[in-house]
Chains A and B, each alone.
Chain A
Amino acid sequence: MKKDNPKAWRNDAYAKVTGRARYTDDVKFPFMLHAVPVYSDFVSAKIVSIDTSDAEKSEGVVKVLTHKDVAGTNRFGQIIKDFRIFAEDRIFYNGDVIALVVADTRANAVKAAGLVKLEAKAIPSILDPEKALEPDCPLVHEEHGSNIINEHRVRRGNIEDGFKNSGLILEEVFQTQFVEHAYMEPEAAICNPRHDGVIEVYASMQHPFSTRRFVNAVLGGRLADVEVISTPMGGGFGGKDDTVSIVAARTALAAKLTGKPVKCSYAREWSIRESYKRHPYRIYYKMGFTKDGKIKAVKTKIIADGGAYCSVTPWVTWRSTVQCCGPYQVENVHCDTYGVYTNNVVTGAMRGFGSPQMNFVVESMIDIAASKLGINPIEIRRKNMVRQGSITITGQKLDNHKVAMEETLNTVLDEFDYESKFKKCSFGKSDADELYGVGLAMSYRGMSLGAEGTDFNSAIINVQPDGSILLETGIHENGQGSESAMCLILARELGVSLDRIRYRRPSTSNIPDGGTTVASRGTVMGGGAVVLAVKKLKEKIAEFINKHHGSAEENAVFKDDEIICGKDKYKFDDVISSMYRNQEYPHVFGVFRGPKVTWNEENGQGDAYFSWTYGCQAIELTVNRKSGKVKLLNAVAAHDAGKAANVQMTLGQFYGGMAMGIGYGLHEEVKMKDGVITNTNFNSYRLPRSTDLPEMKAVIIENPDPNSPSGAKGIGEPTNELMAPAISNAIFNATGKRYFKLPIKVEVSGEEDLNQ
């Protein structure tokens, strides 16, 4: 590890680059059994019987579990407890699991899974969320009383007046697709029944505490009876919460009932079939402008396909609602948002969390308006964008941090040489085979969970007698480098060298629940807790020095592994050693509580997020007139990261986010046929490859956020929410054709679309 280059430092780099990192499926326990899920061919059905007798007699099979084996509750969820851990009397979607086969080897379990017999009666499936909203539509979940999972709204100003005063009114309908997270590591869990009665869980998850809640609910015990232990995780992007927690819960039940360690490691096909996706949205959007381009009114109806179970649909759609007008000041807003049950695959959290859909709409609409009004697309943005002290559409005044919307826009314009490239666009009027276009999009994004959740996190710093330091936080390493960021923040704040710090992966049994590592909140919340813990540690150490060494100086300075108290200098190691000799523990616990946020469900007004971050991205491309092939040439992004803890890792978030945004815009779609996913592996689910992507330039803007103790802002998701609209705008500027549906399939007469 190169410790002299902390900008690229990762505590797990050596393990990952040598193949030593042990992911869940790489771990073995003696006498471990293997579990395999059993699915049905149905999308919606009434179950008559599940016959496991043949499977039980199959070679190597130890047990076959169904819902009847669940000791605790078989229905669970983060918001609505509607997930069936095992199907009971109904099939709600094609990914429902009817049984779990446990055998001596995975191959034997797979073989026996085919012998489980299901007798069921098909029920007409509800696959269109708008049909599900019709009053006479049958209900997906009778007990919920409605197909509407949740509603959100914004009511601001007077929408009629707003449109009355508009010289241009645009009305469009947009549609987005199901998207697979496509983490490279499929779901996996190992559960080990410990001699003390605790069930130990190792899994590929991004929220160990959520996993613990699912496991505990199914086992029917108490939280202290389950210990969930972090292992290296092969990607999450929001997708390693509910589904893998359910996988872990089934596996834990198998471990408990067999008394043996059990591993359940998913094949890609099972993963794509069962796991939740990004919500497809249908968005009706009406927008009024004055002739000179000022936005007067927005009226929108947002319908999100929630699939068969609620998951976190209410939270995802809440962010869409709060950010439904993009980073623009709009006085008159009327927004109605619906999360809807269908028999489609479950939808839930995915990087962006309800914003990529909305940004596609808003940033397309702004460009449409600019084109119709004959205004430069940059100028129309400048005219409407939020600035220091602006009021958001939910009535929040942006005055507690630097509003860097224009700064990010200007940075991209400069870096990209946007204006001169814009002039060269073909606008569909060129005779060349390759039509040229550039496009741009920008957004602001509420930081962390906002008024949708309880936002706090903790850190434990435990300095050892020799001055080495153990650090733990309630933030989970998803691969993004959060552990390294935490170590770097600790080193920076405590004024000590990085090489004395070791991150200890916490288990759910030794640190309090810090909420899930989502919402780009890792560095903000975990880093905040580290900063506050360091503050406590410094106070403790300074107090000790005063007491035992008689330094009268109040303000001790911690720098270069030394503590300077006025004229006196102490070596960090010596002070720590002295503390232990004097029965003082240099051990602290720090908590960062997210500042207050407010929300009124009735009118959709409130201080929705405790701070905001700003970003802008641009892309340059060509479209082949004959083949429709889109070639991406260059991309630039600028985002306000507050304060970057680890520059290379921050850049990695930019590039990865942009790549995923490009996939969203051009390639990716989970294809459904009558409720069944037809592309369940990477040969047919089209992910961006190295040759699909352009050279990318990332610019980190740093305006340390006063609301975040480490100064950091979240950056994982903002980077992911702009490429699709930028591409759509660039394709328009190249071809003169506007697209309202993702992924964009460039229309060419009589030719197949080469981007799919």
Chain B
Amino acid sequence: MKMTVNRKLIEVPDSMKERKLVEYLREELDLTGVKNACEMKSCGACAVLVNNKSFRICNAYVKDVENCELLTIEGMENEDGTLHPLQQAFIDFGAMQCGFCTPGMVLTAHAFLLGNSEPTREQIRKALQSNICRCTGYQQIIDAVEAASVFYRK
């Protein structure tokens, strides 16, 4: 089977199709920005973009994303290695502490902003409800997402 991961087309050996997707990304592709924190779709630490929509993939299998386009945190940067404005906003607003939820949080916010580039703070809160952060109280995360939204306006 085939899938695209971070803009790169990948040929997946058949033997991998029955593997957990998180395991495959972390162990075979070394994309360790995908985190395991609950393994039951409750916390969002494993969130990645599948066809531009945010999914908590901890229960998914490799075969579930056949022919899909995946974006992990490792693919968020621009081609030239500079940070995406949303990533930069997370830094500028102090929107991370331990950083364990950060990849899933950035990706969930990214998917959300792709669909709504002029959100209210309440809408941002709703969009991030699927992702748990234990450190920040979300305040600075919401600040960062709100500030970055301008970069999503065409």
Contacts and interface: CB of A to CB of B under 8 A. Distances in A.
Interface stretch (A252-260, A293-301, A680-688): A680-688
Q: State the 5 A-B residue pairs at the shortest beta-carbon distance, nearest first.
A: A19-B33, A479-B98, A648-B94, A234-B100, A16-B99
A26 B22 CA distance: 12
Contacts of A651: 94, 139-140
A258 B26 CA distance: 25
A696 B137 contact: yes
B14 interface: no
Contacts of A480: 97-98, 135
Interface stretch (A36-44, A284-292, A654-662, A742-750): A654-662
Given A16-B99, A17-B96, A655 B134 contact: no
B72 interface: yes
A25 B102 CA distance: 16
Contacts of A649: 94, 97
Interface of B: 26, 31-40, 42-43, 45, 72-74, 76-77, 83, 87-88, 90-94, 96-103, 106, 121, 124-126, 128-129, 131-142
A432 interface: no
Contacts of B37: 184-186, 234, 268, 682
Contact of A655 (B31, B76, B137): B137
A481 B91 CA distance: 12
Q: Is the interface of B mostly helix, strand, loop or mixed?
A: loop
A183 interface: yes
B131 to A, nearest CB: 8
B30 to A, nearest CB: 9
A21 B97 contact: no
19 contacts: A1-B91, A10-B94, A16-B96, A17-B91, A18-B74, A19-B33, A19-B76, A19-B103, A25-B32, A185-B37, A234-B35, A267-B39, A479-B97, A481-B97, A655-B137, A655-B140, A681-B40, A689-B129, A690-B125
A198 interface: no
Interface in A177-228: 181-186
A725 interface: no
Given A2-B91, A2-B92, A19-B74, A687 B140 contact: no
A636 to B, nearest CB: 12
A418 interface: no
Given A185-B100, A690-B138, A8 B33 contact: no
Contacts, number: 180
Interface residues of A, number: 58
Nearest to B72: A19
Contacts of A20: 33, 74
Interface centre among B31, B34, B92, B106 (most CB of A within 10 A): B92
Given A20-B33, A234-B99, A652 B129 contact: no
B92 A656 contact: no
A695 B121 contact: yes
B98 A234 contact: yes
A582 interface: no
A18 B140 contact: no
Contacts of A688: 137
A140 to B, nearest CB: 31
Interface in A682-726: 682-683, 687-691, 693, 695-696
Contact of B99 (A232, A655, A660): A232
A695 B36 CA distance: 29
Contacts of A695: 121, 139
B132 A689 contact: yes
A637 to B, nearest CB: 10
A632 B70 CA distance: 37
Contacts of B142: 690
Interface in A345-392: none
Contacts of A659: 136-138
Interface of A: 1-2, 5, 8, 10, 12-23, 25-26, 181-186, 232-237, 267-268, 478-481, 648-649, 651-652, 655-660, 681-683, 687-691, 693, 695-696
A13 B106 CA distance: 13
Contacts of B76: 18-19
Contacts of A181: 134
Contact of B134 (A10, A19, A183): A183
A22 B132 CA distance: 20
Contacts of B38: 268, 681-683
A683 B121 CA distance: 25
Contacts of B139: 651, 655, 693, 695-696
A652 B97 contact: yes
Contacts of B87: 17-18
B97 A13 contact: no
A690 B40 CA distance: 19
A18 B88 CA distance: 10
Contact of A182 (B26, B73, B97, B134): B134
A15 B26 CA distance: 17
A470 B43 CA distance: 37
A648 B103 contact: no
Nearest to A479: B98
Given A2-B92, A184-B132, A682 B43 contact: yes
A592 to B, nearest CB: 24
Nearest to B107: A19
Contacts of A14: 83, 91
B129 A691 contact: yes
Contacts of B124: 690
A184 B138 contact: no
A648 B140 contact: yes
Nearest to B90: A17
Contact of A184 (B34, B43, B121): B43
